[in-house]
Amino acid sequence: METATRSRAWRAILVLCGLVLCGSAAELRAGTLLSPGAGLLVRKSAEPFGVFAFAISAGSLQQKWLLLKDKLDGDMVQLALCDGDRDNCASPAALKLLAIVDQARARDGRARLGETNRAINLAIRAANDGIDDVWSSPLATFARGAGDCEDYAIAKLAALRLAGVAAEDLRIVVVRDVRAGEEHAVVAARLDGRWLMLDNRRMAMVEDDAARSYQPLFALHRSAVMKYVDEPMQVSMMAVEAR
């Protein structure tokens, strides 16, 4: 029995090699979302909001992401071990997050993304970090049961990776909510070539071209620190039809 348990733990560690979400942060500035009404997003790149981005190597957001990196890697190790041996998992926070991962694994495609968004939105109480904005690891957030938008996004990123979503199809996007007049963070998940926004402010997911009140600022992708260099161009439907 002990040998079987040890074997499961080692398998979990091996699986982890493809799951760890280490990486630097992104500090990017993007253009304004025009056209408050119906519009078409003119895509210039495959990134969320159709905007070009390039890697950068400095900035306060990068430093914040790097500070989180070791904690995030450690959480992924613990989650993988607990995933392989639930009976001996000593972390209630890990078991709670893994229960959400189990529900996500039981679904495919959009349903998997939607279940992760809904379940984590319900599992975490919205709380502001105050003046000193602290980015928490997934297990710290679940242990506390509360967090701000970045904490929701980080937890969703970890859960989706554990549920089998490829890292290449996931981003954390920092945006400017022009209606609320504040910065916000969401997870962007690519499905069938389209980017869906997993947002702690709503249960239903929307595509990036429908999130017209969000001005994209930064994108965090694996180990890359990216900066948007162009405006997402909105063209009104009337202008398109007039051509």
Instruction: Give a yes or no: residue 8 inside a domain.
Output: no
Instruction: Give a yes or no: residue 228 inside a domain.
Output: yes
Instruction: Give a yes or no: residue 16 inside a domain.
Output: no
Instruction: Give a yes or no: residue 32 inside a domain.
Output: yes
- Look up the domain containing 104 and give its range: 22-84+91-242
Amino acid 23: pLDDT: 41
Longest pairwise C-alpha distance within the chain: 72
Residues 134-149: what's their mean pLDDT?
96
Instruction: Give a yes or no: residue 9 inside a domain.
Output: no
Q: What are the tens digits of pLDDT across the range 58-83? A: 788 888 887 887 898 899 999 999 99
Q: Are strands 214-221 and 224-228 parallel, antiparallel or unpaired?
A: antiparallel
Provide the total of helices (H) and of strands (E) in the chain, helices listed first. 7, 11
- Taking CA atoms, 78 is separated from 84, 103, 163, 206, 226, in Å, by 10, 19, 15, 32, 28
Amino acid 12: pLDDT: 56
196 neighbors 188 (Cβ within 8 angstroms) = yes
Q: What is the mean pLDDT of the chain?
A: 81
Give bridge partners of residue 10 from the DSSP assignment: none
Q: What are the tens digits of pLDDT across the range 156-182? A: 999 999 999 999 999 999 998 999 999
Give bridge partners of residue 184 from the DSSP assignment: 175
16 pLDDT band (50/70/90 cuts)? low
Amino acid 45: pLDDT: 77
Instruction: Give a yes or no: residue 7 inside a domain.
Output: no
Q: What are the tens digits of pLDDT across the range 30-63? A: 333 333 333 455 567 788 998 888 877 778 888 8
Q: What are the tens digits of pLDDT across the range 190-231? A: 999 999 999 999 999 999 999 989 988 889 887 777 887 765
Show the tokens assigned to 211. 């999130």
**43's torsion region: left (phi>0), alpha (psi -120 to 50) or beta?**
beta
Instruction: Give a yes or no: residue 14 inside a domain.
Output: no
What CA–CA distance (Å, rounded) separates 242 from 89?
A: 62
Residues 114-125: what's their mean pLDDT?
98
| Total domain count, the chain | 1
- Taking CA atoms, 71 is separated from 77, 90, 121, in Å, by 10, 17, 22
Give bridge partners of residue 103 from the DSSP assignment: none
For residue 59, give the nearest of 67, 50, 47 by alpha carbon: 67
Show the tokens assigned to 140. 């710290």
CATH number for the domain that contains residue 167:
3.10.620.30
